[in-house]
């Protein structure tokens, strides 16, 4: 199976298929969530090993990860500062959630994370294609579709498997 990894092509496809993706979201909402999770998890197992995230880094160029207390504690140790200082200097609050401030991420070095082993929880979990309740996260998946080659390829393959009419 061919996997698209060219970020420019993915962005172009995303623009062309925006309406299609929202129609697909509605289409999937009426399906059995457990069955969709099974399919998505299988696709995740097939696709993720073929795409090296450390050679892409596009999510780090486009997104601000949410950080949790344990992330702030871990990251503050790397900077050798207090958690409070790290929070004040490197994070921002939005609707009660805390995010790293900068886009692109301050820890991005070329296309690689300079703190990969210590990266925030949300970075470790991204793109969330191995988690349950895929149908409840479709809006997010549509936004990741243009950012992440894993999500793009997974969604395109899912459309085929589900015999979605474009």
> If you compute the radius of gyration of the chain from its CA atoms, what whole number of angstroms results?
17
CA angle 139, 143, 149 (to 5 degrees): 125
Q: What is the pLDDT of residue 166?
A: 83
Nearest to 118, CA basis, from 128, 110, 107, 129: 107
Q: What is the pLDDT of residue 45?
A: 98
Where along the chain do its domains lie? 7-59+128-161, 62-125
SS3 36: helix
Q: What is the pLDDT of residue 65?
A: 96
Nearest to 112, CA basis, from 51, 159, 56: 56
What's this model's pTM, rounded to 2 decimal places? 0.94
Q: What is the pLDDT of residue 1?
A: 74
Per-residue pLDDT tens digits of the chain, which is 166 residues long = 799 999 999 999 999 999 999 999 999 999 999 999 999 999 999 999 999 998 999 999 999 999 999 999 999 999 999 999 999 999 999 999 999 999 999 999 999 999 999 999 999 999 999 999 999 999 999 999 999 999 999 999 999 999 999 8
SS3 99: strand
Give the helix, strand, coil percentages of the chain, each rounded to 5: 60, 10, 30
Q: What is the pLDDT of residue 121?
A: 97
Q: What is the pLDDT of residue 57?
A: 94
Copy the structure tokens of residue 141.
């998946």
């Amino acid at each position: 199976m061919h996997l698209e990894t060219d970020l420019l092509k993915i962005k172009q496809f995303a623009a062309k298929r925006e309406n299609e993706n929202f129609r697909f979201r509605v289409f999937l909402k009426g399906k059995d969530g457990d069955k969709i999770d099974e399919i998505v998890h299988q696709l995740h197992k097939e696709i993720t090993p073929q795409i090296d995230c450390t050679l892409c880094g596009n999510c780090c160029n486009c997104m601000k990860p949410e950080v949790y207390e344990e992330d702030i504690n871990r990251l503050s140790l790397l900077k050798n500062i207090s958690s409070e200082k790290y929070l004040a200097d490197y994070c921002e609050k939005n609707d009660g959630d805390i995010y790293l401030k900068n886009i692109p991420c301050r820890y991005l070095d070329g296309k690689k994370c300079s703190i990969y082993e210590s990266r925030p929880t949300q970075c470790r979990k991204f793109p969330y294609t191995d988690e349950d309740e895929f149908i409840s996260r479709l809006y997010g998946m549509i936004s990741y579709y243009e950012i992440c080659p894993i999500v793009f390829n997974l969604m395109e393959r899912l459309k085929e498997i589900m015999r979605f009419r474009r």
